[in-house]
Structure 1
Amino acid sequence: MRGGLAVIATSLTALLVACGGDESPSRPDAGPSRTEPSPAERPTAAAFPAASGESLQAIADQAKAGPQVGLATSVIVPGRQRLAFGLIDQSGKLLELPAAVYVARSPSGRAQGPFLAPQDPLTVAPEFRSKTGAGSGGGVSAIYGADVRFPRPGRYAVLVLASQAGQLTGAATQVTVRRRAPVPAIGQPAPRIATDTVASAGGDIAKIDTRVPPDDMHKVSLDDVLGKRPVAILFSAPSQCETRTCGPVLDVAAQLDRTYGRQMTFIHQEPYAGNQERNGLNRPAKAFGLPTEPWLFTIDRRGRIAARLEGAFGVRAFTRAVQAALR
């Protein structure tokens, strides 16, 4: 990647931004469903250079220019944050390679990392696959996620390295860390708001669910269970972004509802008024301050936010968020 980290960063297209962001110019291949963990799911620190006080550009110079990186995280605040992304080749195909993340305040700044970024599958058992999910011919089937430390607000340069047969390739982008997020923070009380149910829709589930087929997570309203039992509420509009992340994460929710449904309430809430993005956010989405979608919030039995996830998140990340609310 000799020739300038910053130059490469300006050429990237964020194909995996959450549905509130720009439209993707291509339809990345979802790829086959997998049963065995791939090397991308188990990266090791030994495969990547230690920062050792070097600049981010010096780390980048050890790799060849490779895939593009598409971010799936837009809300970042100081502290340790999940940075989700995909790696996309020239044909628009999502890659599966061991990966790690480095960050610095600028390309010439001192690099921090490597932060390992295991890939997390979004594929689910056949009975939970929808026509708007990862098996639909265009949905995202896996996502990288790294826990990255951002010390303070401001703009950061980000370098993603991928390893293949001992060779490193790199892609760069940048993120802005803000002082606070518009959505509820972990530990804060969840908004007490009525969410859509089959009863409130007069029995017409098509009014409140654009998944094909509709899911079964509209039985109760959030305000009826908040503070009484743990809750997982997923804001997702699969009809608005079926080729990307909203459908696949909803399929994951349906699968985990089967596993954890006796211990907590799972709620799917469409975020747009009348199920149309052009109408703007509905009352529940506004109450949670959503800047994008999809968003997942898990809430403990005291009614406080236990975990939150933005954009694309796989089975493992979703499961950890559920378990955080059950502690």
Structure 2
Amino acid sequence: MTIHRRLAVLVVVASVAVACGNAGKRLPDRSKPDDLVVEVASYDLAVGPPGRLIVGALTADHRFVGFGTVQMRFAYLGATKDSGAAPAYGPPSNGTFLVIPGTQVPTPAPTQPTLVDASTGRGVYATTVAFDRAGIWQVQVTASIARRMQQASGAFMVASRHAIPAPGDAALPTQNHTLGASDVPPSAIDSRASDGTVPDPELHHSTIAAALATHRPIVAVFSTPVYCVSRFCGPVTDMVQELAHDYGDRASFVHVEIWRDFDKKEINKAAADWLLRGGDLQEPWVFVVGADGKIVARFDNVTTRGELEPLLRQLPVIGVVS
């Protein structure tokens, strides 16, 4: 099965690209080098109950903004980008900084939004928001950076319904590749296994279908550590592997590699069933599934241990599957 890839968010040294299709947006000609620029980094936003939304923040000259909290407000602009509606923002909410797993955080960490180096400040700001209408929305971010209060806004699309499985939906009983599979190369199990050795065996003992059949909770990470557009797949997968070491007696942990054959642009069927929509696929994703087979939570693009671990601590100890 082949796919065409859409750009995901790149919170890297030179740019922030947007998964929603307005990647590569040019900065205003009159921007000052230290002006704030924001981009929505969430995938699959839709009308419905409150959910997580993440935003990347940087300056016009591509320095990262990290740590502390920012304020976010949201406004509905209209059904299409040509609606021409003036923003009528709702009440503010706090945006909490999420550090990309594996990032070296300075000690002590800054308590206010700060201009940071990519090696010490990669991350996004997260808040919870509910959308009541489909169409074009806009987020306004306010932050105090270097004693200067700044605002920036970014538009994004909200769909009438989620395209990707969401909380409350039944998990798809897919047959992802596991260790010992004879019909695929090791790199189709994990793209890092170019030498034949799968680096995260704890995440490849069970299929999602098998875990569902035994009524075990599941943490499933869909990622391609070698070929990831956002560069977050490797750190997120490593973080899930660490959780598997600590909570493997409470849930099954599964890594689904996106690519069966990257050179031929063939995607693994399990990844396609969960994520491929209209020829586009975005990654990484992490899904938490309850013992009843229903999705409890999902995290797109950036996922942190601090978000996942409280959910795992609530689960009873049920033993490790050998």
TM-score scaled by length of structure 1: 0.70
Of stretches 199-208 and 238-247 in structure 1, the one that deviates more from structure 2 is 199-208
- Corresponding position of 1:89: 59
Which residue number in structure 2 is paired with residue 56 of structure 1? none
Matched with 1:224 is: 210
1:214 aligns with 2:192: no
Aligned pair partner of 1:170 in 137, 151, 161: 151
Give % identity: 23
Kept in 2: contact 1:104–1:156 (CA 8 A): yes
> Structure 1 residues 94 and 65, CA, compared in 2 at 3 Å: closer, same or farther?
closer
Cα distance between partner residues in 2 of 1:283 and 1:263: 27
CA offsets 1:151-197 (integer angstroms, 9 cap, x no match): 22111121111123553212211111111111122112111111111
Q: How does 1:1-327 map to 2 (within 5 A)?
A: 20-22=5-7, 27-28=12-13, 66-78=35-47, 79-97=49-67, 98-106=69-77, 108-124=86-102, 141-164=122-145, 166-201=147-182, 205-211=186-192, 214-216=199-201, 217-227=203-213, 228-241=215-228, 244-274=231-261, 276=262, 279-290=265-276, 291-320=281-310, 322=312
How far does residue 147 in structure 1 lie from its aligned partner after superposition?
A: 0.6
Q: Are the counterparts in 1 of residues 11 and 122 from structure 2 also a CA contact under 8 Å?
A: no
Choose between structure 1 and 2: higher strand proportion.
2
Structure 1 residue 242, shift from structure 2 partner: 6.9
User: Which residue matches 2:23?
Assistant: none
- Could you give the per-residue CA deviations for residues 82-124 of structure 1, whole angstroms, max 9, x where no partner exists? 1112212244332114212111113723211312110112334
* Residue-pair matches, total: 264
Distance 1:95 1:236, change over 3 A: same
The structure where helix makes up a greater share of residues is: 1
Q: Whole-Å Cα distance in 2 between the matches of residues 181 and 264 of structure 1?
A: 26
Distance 1:65 1:184, change over 3 A: same
In structure 2, the CA distance between the partners of 1:149 and 1:252, relative to structure 1 (3 Å rule), is same
Instruction: Please tell me the residue identity of whatever aligns with 2:42.
Output: T
Give unmatched runs, 5+ long, in structure 2.
15-32, 78-84, 105-117, 318-322
Q: Is the 8 A contact 1:198 1:204 kept in 2?
A: no
Gaps of 5+ in 1: 1-18, 30-63, 127-136
Secondary structure, aligned partner of 1:284:
helix
CA contact (8 A) 1:201 1:208 kept: no
SS of aligned partner of 2:286: strand
**In 1, are the aligned partners of 2:57 and 2:65 still within 8 Å (CA)?**
yes
What is the CA-CA distance between 1:24 and the residue it aligns to? 7.1
**More divergent stretch after superposition (116-125 vs 199-208):** 199-208
Alpha-carbon deviation of 1:22?
Answer: 2.3
Is the Cα contact below 8 Å between 2:191 and 2:259 reproduced in 1? no
Write the distance in 2 (CA, Å) between the matches of 1:26 and 1:318. Answer: 21
The TM-score with structure 2 as length reference comes to: 0.71
CA distance in 1, matches of 2:136, 2:252: 38
Distance 1:201 1:298, change over 3 A: farther
Q: 1:203 to 1:305 in 2, by over 3 A?
A: same
Alpha-carbon deviation of 1:198?
A: 0.9
Contact 1:301 1:325 (8 Å CA) reproduced: no
What CA distance in whole angstroms lies between the structure 1 residues aligned with 2:180 and 2:257? 15
